[in-house]
Chains A and B, each alone.
Chain A
């Protein structure tokens, strides 16, 4: 019955994270539920940057959802999940969560942060895209900053509308709700030509929606550094494809699964590889490559060294070929 029973092992993307308990589930709209989680023993959770997302494990998969709080010393994390019929199943699993269920989550990750120097924030959301934008609005209120929100949703299907309205005041100075395309076009066009110098724009919603908003903003002379859009996971390396390594000296073959680094695989197999940062910058874990093309993902090797394909950084780099041969 509980989700935990369906989770045979912790996914690499949430390893070293937190185990939380679902403390509230509430229906926002017909297809959106809000899920609140807290530490089972109570107490504070790590703070997060406004606009952050939370990677949550469901069964064997993981999904990222925007956190809707301001992120300042929270005791609970809240996300809202839109049920997607044809997704990989994550949203359906999330919709089945009940109070008391335990879930694994990674520490919140930031990829849609407010600009600290902004003199005003123009927040634009469509549908479920309200979630990170609500986080921004709450932070603006707390930080004595100002924001304007434009929220596009279907009639009577706006999630978090009541919360957004409650924020209205000296922080969130305006909330414009649009329930049809035409009115949104007019509201956006007017907003884009009337913002004080120093305003930054944040947009979250379907990709086509975001692209249209950003393109229109650029057309009105907004420079790209003022434009922010939510792109899940842009700051993190993806798990990569599985590959095989052949250790030429010992004749051993090892499988490197997706989400596990070559360095970790070698360490698990008893190899001692010098390493320091494990982030592809210090250069300590360099390995000699005899055959195969590494997929270089480090910051250490120069372009020439990468092109030569005879060394690789085992902490972050993977393989473009199904098999790599290493001089180990």
Chain B
């Protein structure tokens, strides 16, 4: 592995914010699975700008994505679940994240805690609430649903016991081709069972050992990526019959460059201080190929990555039917 010095393009200042803040994931012309973890909240420069200064990132899509999440939850309540032993972990996640947001966005947000009584103000939503840690009825739909109305990230909580991690609570409305409702209660190996190569390359067990050794308060992050047709946040297995058919038509669609998006997940891994549970946040960013192409270095790297990606990985990511069309378009610019 080598690290690349990334220089921001001098023309980048003219680009819109959605491009300058996009967490472009490719450091070179090839991509393989790796345990690409690094400490959280370190600013990561890209050729177009930078990302990653804050644990909870709030951008121009904040209110839209929260409204979209509310709709998904109304349609399908199976997207949220808390096994009974995870209540302490949910409260721990809520207080940890609200206090982190208040520190990062002092102009719009504040968080105060006296004993178990907390007061939270979110100016972006004209919201002021008071609640009591440990009392689920002190927030209208309970602490996890409430947290899901404050941050754009999907929220997953893993319990640590019997030397492994258990996916025992979460609120996941923007899944990339997996079913949270089905996976609830699984351990780390069971969750990752369908991922090709990951087993052979020992990534799962290494990642698990890493996560088990994290100490309370430690925060790390990594990125993952796939592609999505349309600006569609909910690409869960649940709604696959709705979005699956697009995969067959996109390659020949003249509007492909506008419709086809690079989907990047910024994933945070946080060992919570009081419960000791592992909080896994997944923040999804979508950017169409037309925007990728406005940054010459991105256009080239992504074009080469798509062309070179082994078939099994392209198949698993669900991009095998159109990755050549996307690559050709990017590299022909």
8 contacts between A and B (CB under 8 A): A49-B274, A49-B276, A73-B274, A116-B85, A276-B36, A276-B38, A281-B35, A302-B202
Is residue A62 within 8 Å, beta carbon to beta carbon, of the partner chain?
no
A235 to B215, CA, bound (A): 8
Which one, A44, A225, A236, contacts B113 given CB within 8 A? A44
> Contact at B209–A299, with CB atoms within 8 Å?
yes
A280 to B37, CA, bound (A): 10
A107 to B218, CA, bound (A): 10
**What is the total number of residues of chain B having a CB less than 8 Å from a CB of chain A?**
39
Which one, A49, A236, A278, A299, contacts B273 given CB within 8 A? A49
A202 to B302, CA, bound (A): 53
| Shortest Cβ gap from B185 to chain A (Å) | 11
Interface window among A90-98, A162-170, A282-290: A282-290
> Contact at B116–A73, with CB atoms within 8 Å?
yes
| Chain B residues in the interface with A (C-beta under 8 A) | 1-3, 34-39, 85-86, 88-89, 92, 95, 113, 115-116, 133-134, 159-162, 202, 206-207, 209-210, 213, 215-217, 220, 273-277
Q: With A117-B85, A225-B162 known to touch, is A277 a contact of B220 (CB < 8 Å)? A: yes
Which one, A49, A73, A143, A276, contacts B115 given CB within 8 A? A73
A280 to B113, CA, bound (A): 37
Q: With A48-B216, A116-B161, A284-B1 known to touch, is A110 a contact of B36 (CB < 8 Å)? A: no
Kindly identify, within residues 170 to 228 of chain A, every residue whose CB is under 8 Å from any CB belonging to chain B. 225
A225 to B166, CA, bound (A): 15
Neighbouring B residues of A143 by C-beta, 8 Å: 88, 134
Q: With A283-B1, A284-B1, A299-B209 known to touch, is A276 a contact of B89 (CB < 8 Å)? A: no
**What is the total number of residues of chain A having a CB less than 8 Å from a CB of chain B?**
36
> Contact at B202–A282, with CB atoms within 8 Å?
no
Q: With A48-B273, A283-B35 known to touch, is A117 a contact of B159 (CB < 8 Å)? A: yes
> Contact at B210–A281, with CB atoms within 8 Å?
yes
Is residue A309 within 8 Å, beta carbon to beta carbon, of the partner chain?
no
A110 to B133, CA, bound (A): 22
Q: Which of B39, B115, B216, B217 has the most CB of A within 10 A?
A: B216
> Contact at B210–A279, with CB atoms within 8 Å?
yes
> Contact at B85–A107, with CB atoms within 8 Å?
no
| Shortest Cβ gap from B25 to chain A (Å) | 14
| Shortest Cβ gap from B111 to chain A (Å) | 11
| Shortest Cβ gap from B223 to chain A (Å) | 12
A276 to B52, CA, bound (A): 14
> Contact at A49–B36, with CB atoms within 8 Å?
no
Neighbouring A residues of B35 by C-beta, 8 Å: 277, 281-283, 300
A60 to B59, CA, bound (A): 47
Considering the complex of A and B, which 10 residue pairs feature the smallest CB-CB distances, nearest first?
Answer: A274-B3, A47-B274, A49-B276, A47-B273, A116-B85, A281-B210, A276-B38, A277-B37, A299-B206, A117-B85
Neighbouring B residues of A48 by C-beta, 8 Å: 216, 273-274
| Shortest Cβ gap from B145 to chain A (Å) | 20
Is residue A113 within 8 Å, beta carbon to beta carbon, of the partner chain?
yes
- Chain A's closest residue to B86 (CB) is A116
Q: With A278-B39, A284-B3, A299-B206 known to touch, is A109 a contact of B34 (CB < 8 Å)? A: no
Neighbouring A residues of B2 by C-beta, 8 Å: 274
Is residue A115 within 8 Å, beta carbon to beta carbon, of the partner chain?
yes
Is residue A72 within 8 Å, beta carbon to beta carbon, of the partner chain?
yes
A299 to B1, CA, bound (A): 16
- Chain A's closest residue to B208 (CB) is A299
> Contact at A235–B213, with CB atoms within 8 Å?
yes
Is residue A40 within 8 Å, beta carbon to beta carbon, of the partner chain?
no
> Contact at A300–B206, with CB atoms within 8 Å?
yes
| Shortest Cβ gap from B157 to chain A (Å) | 10
Other than the given A116-B275, A117-B161, 11 more pairs (CB < 8 A) read A49-B273, A71-B273, A71-B274, A73-B274, A110-B216, A116-B85, A143-B88, A225-B161, A282-B35, A282-B36, A284-B3
> Contact at B3–A236, with CB atoms within 8 Å?
no
Q: With A276-B37, A283-B1 known to touch, is A73 a contact of B215 (CB < 8 Å)? A: no
Neighbouring B residues of A110 by C-beta, 8 Å: 215-216, 276
Kindly identify, within residues 67 to 109 of chain A, every residue whose CB is under 8 Å from any CB belonging to chain B. 71-73, 107-109
| Shortest Cβ gap from B115 to chain A (Å) | 7
Neighbouring A residues of B206 by C-beta, 8 Å: 281, 299-300
| Shortest Cβ gap from A197 to chain B (Å) | 15
> Contact at B216–A107, with CB atoms within 8 Å?
yes
A299 to B35, CA, bound (A): 10
Q: With A113-B276, A281-B210 known to touch, is A49 a contact of B216 (CB < 8 Å)? A: yes
Which one, A72, A115, A235, A299, contacts B274 given CB within 8 A? A72
Neighbouring B residues of A235 by C-beta, 8 Å: 213, 215
Kindly identify, within residues 243 to 293 of chain A, every residue whose CB is under 8 Å from any CB belonging to chain B. 274, 276-284, 286
> Contact at A279–B213, with CB atoms within 8 Å?
yes
Is residue A30 within 8 Å, beta carbon to beta carbon, of the partner chain?
no
Is residue A142 within 8 Å, beta carbon to beta carbon, of the partner chain?
yes
Neighbouring A residues of B3 by C-beta, 8 Å: 274, 284
> Contact at A116–B88, with CB atoms within 8 Å?
yes
A283 to B201, CA, bound (A): 13
